[in-house]
Amino acid sequence: MWTNRQFVMRLMLLTLLLALVAAKSKISAVQEDITDYKEFKKLIRTKNNVLALYVSSAKEAAAELKVFREAADVIRGTGTMLYVDCSNQERKKLCKKLKVAPSSYILRHYKDGDYHKDYDRQLTAESMVTFMRDPTGDLPWEEDPAGADVLHFNDGASFSKHVRKDIRPMLVMFHVPWCGFCKRMKPDYSKAATELKTHGGYLLAAMNVERQENAPVRKLFNLTGFPTLIYFENGKMRFTYEGENTKDALVAFMLNPNVKPTPKPKEPDWSADTNSEIVHLTTQGFEAVLKDEKSALVMFYAPWCGHCKHMKPEYEKAALEMKQKNVPGMLAALDATKETAIGEKYKVKGYPTVKYFSYGVYKFDVNVREVSKIVEFMIDPKEPPPPPPPEKNWEDEEGSTEVIFPNDETFRTILKRKKHALVMFYAPWCGHCKHTKPEFTAAANALQDDPRVALVAIDCTKYVELCAKYNVRGYPTFIYFSYLKTTLEYKGGRSSKDFIAYMKNPPSPNEHSEL
């Protein structure tokens, strides 16, 4: 049994250990241990979403570093945050190698193993988090100067707090980033917000409900289509705005919301088309209709979805062609925004989603959207093969360590030191390159003991300028270098024996002409 003193000591020790673990966890959100160029390259190759903060000194950029750490804690697992202090003796060479010379700080993003862009958003933790979640996405609406007069709610808590305290008339646009209608409406909505500001007492607001933290709001207002505009007055929801999505219509509505706005032209309900060969399903009849059908495609759609609208006429034509050619099977459709239970049951997350059923049993998803492809599939419905696994980078393939893979900065340094170097300029997608890679690798392994010789590979999809410099117009292209001063296009065979024989007896300086 422990004495009281032992128990207290152990409790204190446990508290200390927990504190140390918490501190360590907090620090590890930002990676700070990269000191040389090789480590850096390995990091951006293995982590495909990296934001790097380079500072002239920790003191000079203390405020930026604080924000950077806050963002890192949130996006842990989604992206990698790298901190490099260029005043540190160990990291000076790295900054110089990367040609980074921050006057105070520089933020750079790296994607899929290469430089992507300089960070161009607001210097806030929230903006950094948004950027890291979608680094190739559009500038968030709340950061667009044109939308400065729109009140943006970040989450349900800020929205609820505002509604409780501010009783002014307010129109809220609930939107998602991928919605085409939302994107087209934003400019008019922003202009309307600016004009209403001059009248005073009116608010146009917006909320991105795609964010996970806003899922409760989406559920509360039963938001199934976008954009959805809801009008609030005296802190209470009044009704959904059904007018035109133009600046003038929005302003007119806010100035006099009791006048019924001119409704938007309503699209005809697809299921109401009596001439259609498509079978329109509902939750009630879903299983009953499909259970006797040996072969059925079901298109899960949303009425507002642009891709669905493009597919509809193709789907209709395919059903008609199947009827004319006596192709067995059924083409069906279901509005997943109305029949939400069925959409959820079959895990429909985007539109259109096309699923194949046999006797009412779901079999697999199908990616067909054109008449010919739809009919072809229904003639012989087979499960599509799984996508092939992504190919490894050549430099990561087993046995390729003796091939040198420089970048545009290290290319000259490496080749200046080699008396005989054969460079293969290639593209990863090139079939001839794929066939040649193992032969080139085998030759590099066979010649590894000769320090004067190097077999080098340059990916022209990454290093476009370098390939253009040497007039590379097709793949693969082979060029022989001697101390980088003399160059000669290699036109020999592409087997390992050919490469080895050439490098063991390369042309003398008098035998070649410079490129």
CATH, residue 367: 3.40.30.10
pLDDT > 80? residue 451: yes
* 243 and 343 fall within a common domain: no
Residue 24 — pLDDT band, cuts 50, 70, 90?
very low
Q: What is the mean pLDDT of residues 218-247?
A: 89
pLDDT > 80? residue 3: no
pLDDT over 90 for what percent of the chain?
51
Q: What is the pLDDT of residue 263?
A: 62
Final residue in a domain of this structure, among 255, 285, 316: 255
pLDDT > 60? residue 19: no
Q: What is the pLDDT of residue 9?
A: 56
* 147 and 54 fall within a common domain: no
Phi, psi angle pair for 411, to nearest 5°: -55, -55
Decide if 440 is inside a domain. Answer: yes
Decide if 509 is inside a domain. Answer: no
pLDDT > 50? residue 508: yes
Decide if 270 is inside a domain. Answer: no
Please identify which residue in the block is written with the tokens 């390992």.
Answer: 496
Residues 57 and 105: their CA atoms lie apart, in Å, by 8
* 156 and 127 fall within a common domain: no
Q: What is the pLDDT of residue 169?
A: 95
Please identify which residue in the block is written with the tokens 């040389």.
Answer: 36
pLDDT > 50? residue 512: no
* 336 and 299 fall within a common domain: yes
| DSSP 3-state of 201 | coil
Decide if 212 is inside a domain. Answer: yes
pLDDT > 50? residue 290: yes
Residues 318 and 311: their CA atoms lie apart, in Å, by 10
Residues 320 and 228: their CA atoms lie apart, in Å, by 35
* 41 and 120 fall within a common domain: yes
Total domains in the chain come to: 4
Of residues 255 and 29, the one with the higher pLDDT is: 255
* 148 and 245 fall within a common domain: yes
Q: What is the pLDDT of residue 28?
A: 53
* 464 and 490 fall within a common domain: yes
Please, what is the angle between helix 496-504 and helix 431-446, to 10°?
Answer: 50
Residue 226 — pLDDT band, cuts 50, 70, 90?
confident
Q: For the segment 188-205, what is each residue's pLDDT rounded down to a tens digit?
A: 999 999 999 999 899 999
| Residue 365: closest CA among 414, 300, 317 | 300
pLDDT > 90? residue 477: yes
Residues 312 and 370: their CA atoms lie apart, in Å, by 10
Final residue in a domain of this structure, among 105, 136, 167: 136
For 49, 54, 132, 344, the CA distances from 79, given in Å and listed in that order, are 5, 17, 6, 29
Domain containing 221 equals: 142-255
Q: What is the pLDDT of residue 393?
A: 87
Decide if 392 is inside a domain. Answer: no
* 147 and 132 fall within a common domain: no
* 281 and 327 fall within a common domain: yes
Final residue in a domain of this structure, among 136, 169, 190: 136
* 49 and 120 fall within a common domain: yes
Decide if 350 is inside a domain. Answer: yes
* 339 and 405 fall within a common domain: no
Q: What is the mean pLDDT of residues 50-62?
A: 92
Q: What is the pLDDT of residue 22?
A: 44
Residue 298 — pLDDT band, cuts 50, 70, 90?
very high
Q: What is the mean pLDDT of residues 472-500?
A: 91
Q: For the segment 153-193, what is each residue's pLDDT rounded down to a tens digit?
A: 988 889 989 988 998 999 999 998 777 678 889 999 999 99
Decide if 511 is inside a domain. Answer: no
* 46 and 118 fall within a common domain: yes
Q: For the segment 335-364, what is each residue's pLDDT rounded down to a tens digit?
A: 998 899 999 999 998 889 999 999 999 999
Residue numbers annotated as active site: 305, 308, 430, 433
Decide if 388 is inside a domain. Answer: no
